[in-house]
Amino acid sequence: MIKRFFTYYRPHRNLFLIDFSCAIIVAILELAFPVVVQWFIDDLLPTGKWSLIVWVSIGLLFVYMASTGLQFIVNYLGHKLGINIETDMRQQLFQHVQKQSFRFFDNTKTGHVMSRITNDLFDIGELAHHGPEDLFIAVMTFIGAFWIMLTINVQLALITIVVVPFLVWLIAFSNIRMNHAWKEMYGKIADVNARVEDSVSGARVVQSFTNEKFEIDRFRTDNRKFRKAKLVAYKVMGYTSSGIYMMTRLFILVVLVYGAWLTFNGTLSSGELVAFILYVNVLFKPIDKISALLELYPKGMAGFKRFTELLDMEPEVEDAKDAITVPSLRGDIRFDHVTFGYDDKQKPVLNGIDLQVHAGETVAFVGPSGAGKTTICSLIPRFYDVNEGSISIDDIDIRKMTKESLRSQIGIVQQDVFLFTGTLRENIEYGMLGATDEQIEEAAKRAHLEDFIAGLPEGYETQVGERGLKLSGGQKQRIAIARMFLKNPPILILDEATSALDTETELIIQKALTELSKNRTTLVIAHRLATIRNADRIVVVTEDGIAEQGGHDELIEKGGIFANLHQVQYQS
């Protein structure tokens, strides 16, 4: 885990080296200071040469100034290093999430992903900065200070070292508890995030059921759990730092008394006593630092662990090693004995489906909801991979194609159109990034959006609210259609694109869709049988698979399931 963590330093090697060297110089200067004080008291003061004292002070002033400059560098560059690493990780994780397959998004809460990409990484940056640097400096200062203390007075130095194991034990003990506490805390804040995400995206549902109070209570529970987890962490932290404080101060008192006695005896000069006490501080400081590190380490590592957990989730649908780029498909789609289920434990949704759609054909799928129509269509762009059997387009197995080239040839218009925050133009352009204004306007025209956009004061530059809520279903639908005109794919999937519309809007959309599906292989899933009258072929899907297929009139004549559906709809 640590080794993996260090790989993130590689791109910032130089920054790290500069920062590290400056930190070492600062530490050496700090280590030398008590020696200078001792010399000042024992050797310089008794000479009584005032001018010498002034010169020494001026010299010290320059050393301090240099040290201040170096400390600034250490601080700034160190944090820069940390932030760089944090940003790299965040970018990497985002890219990884982009690669994930549908099943990942089916099973993952948005809030949890958000947490991992934001909060979880906060402490990693700090750890990356402070970790190796502080650890090295602390060990170096500790050894240096102890060595000098031995040269001043062996007895005092040995007494000092006895305290160290106690301090280390205290720190190690709290570290274990802290580790646990931070991990808890991260889990809880992720829950809070998930709750916020849920209730904001579902705000309309919440309000229409007037369940605000219920949501508030649920949020309070999670928020309190987070508070509790964080409090536990802080409590452990408080105990540790108070314990350390008390131990070190008590000890300085011991040194002071024992040292004073040695001075009376004449075994220790007063300069040496002062220097020694200064060194006790120098010696304990690294322990303080390490304890701070030990607090930071579990925090950072808990985040890093969650980071790697997500990073190690392999996307389910991936390009084969020798995947080919298909330049342009005609659109002959064939399902061969396709079996597929969302969950291995449950009965598969599709069981040995055979189906053929010819290039340029318009095929309509009808049947009860939950039968698997959407599922059939999700398999064609490889949103999921089949469990058994195969799907091929133009006689090439889709698993042999690169995902990118396959999906770039399939356009999907769903009932739920997702609009991104941004302008209308940007939302249409999503169909073909980099499209010119003329292309966008042409697409809008063909999607019958022209009049609507012309009526808006800001036209194409109108901001679409978050998720496009300011637009009606029909308007959103037409934006999706405009996107498709830009994308211009040979294969088109219309999944209940007109189901939620009123009859008048449906007529306009139907016109746009008919135009869109010209010269394309089109798969239409529809509830309203009127919308599929124009299909070349109708496929009736039930829970047992494909029940019947054929032309509209042919199926009516046959008097099977479709004929029944038809009758029910036209009677009501």
498 binds ligand ADP (CB under 6 A): no
Nearest residue to 243 (alpha-carbon basis) of 190, 166, 308, 313? 166
Binding window for ligand ADP (CB under 6 A); candidates: 64-72, 366-374, 403-411, 549-557: 366-374
373 binds ligand ADP (CB under 6 A): yes
Instruction: Look at strands 350-357 and 396-397 and give their pairing.
Output: unpaired
Picked from Mg ion, ligand ADP, none, the partner binding residue 498 (CB below 5 to 8 A depending on kind) is none
Picked from ligand ADP, Mg ion, none, the partner binding residue 370 (CB below 5 to 8 A depending on kind) is ligand ADP
Interface characters, 296-335, with ligand ADP (x: CB under 6 A): ----------------------------------------
Least separation in angstroms between CB 186 and Mg ion: 37
Q: Where are the alpha helices (DSSP H) in 518-572?
A: 552-558, 561-571
Picked from ligand ADP, Mg ion, none, the partner binding residue 349 (CB below 5 to 8 A depending on kind) is ligand ADP
Radius of gyration of the chain (CA): 36
Least separation in angstroms between CB 212 and ligand ADP: 29
Near ligand ADP by CB under 6 A: residue from 167, 301, 333, 371: 371
Least separation in angstroms between CB 525 and ligand ADP: 6
174 binds Mg ion (CB under 5 A): no
Return the number of the residue (156 or 350) whose C-beta is nearest ligand ADP. Answer: 350
Element of type H or E holding 536: none
Q: Please, what sign has the CA dihedral across residues 100, 101, 102, 108?
A: negative
408 binds Mg ion (CB under 5 A): no
369 binds ligand ADP (CB under 6 A): yes
Return the number of the residue (321 or 345) whose C-beta is nearest ligand ADP. Answer: 345
Distance CA 402, CA 419 (A): 26
Return the number of the residue (185 or 376) whose C-beta is nearest ligand ADP. Answer: 376
Binding window for ligand ADP (CB under 6 A); candidates: 56-64, 114-122, 363-371, 557-565: 363-371
Binding window for Mg ion (CB under 5 A); candidates: 206-214, 284-292, 367-375, 452-460: 367-375
Return the number of the residue (296 or 350) whose C-beta is nearest ligand ADP. Answer: 350
Strand partners for 464: 422
Near ligand ADP by CB under 6 A: residue from 375, 427, 510, 549: 375
Least separation in angstroms between CB 494 and ligand ADP: 12
- DSSP notation for 371-396: SSHHHHHHHTTTSS--SEEEEEETTE
Report in angstroms the alpha-carbon separations of 266 from 71, 182, 259: 39, 52, 10
Backbone φ, ψ for residue 418 (5° rounding): -95, 120
- The residue number with the shortest CB distance to Mg ion is 374
Strand partners for 412: 493
Binding window for Mg ion (CB under 5 A); candidates: 147-155, 236-244, 371-379, 479-487: 371-379
Picked from ligand ADP, Mg ion, none, the partner binding residue 77 (CB below 5 to 8 A depending on kind) is none
At which residue do the structure tokens 């090693």 appear? 321
374 binds Mg ion (CB under 5 A): yes
Task: Identify the burial level of 393 via C-beta atoms within 10 angstroms of its C-beta, where 0-12 means exposed, 13-18 middle and 19 or more buried.
Answer: buried
Strand partners for 364: 524, 538
Strand residue runs (E) in 270-349: 333-340
Picked from Mg ion, ligand ADP, none, the partner binding residue 342 (CB below 5 to 8 A depending on kind) is ligand ADP
- The answer for residues whose C-beta is within 8 angstroms of residue 452's C-beta and 6 or more apart is 475, 478
- The answer for residues whose C-beta is within 8 angstroms of residue 512's C-beta and 6 or more apart is 446, 447, 448, 478, 481
Contacts with ligand ADP by CB under 6 A lie at 106, 342, 349, 369-375
Contacts with Mg ion by CB under 5 A lie at 374
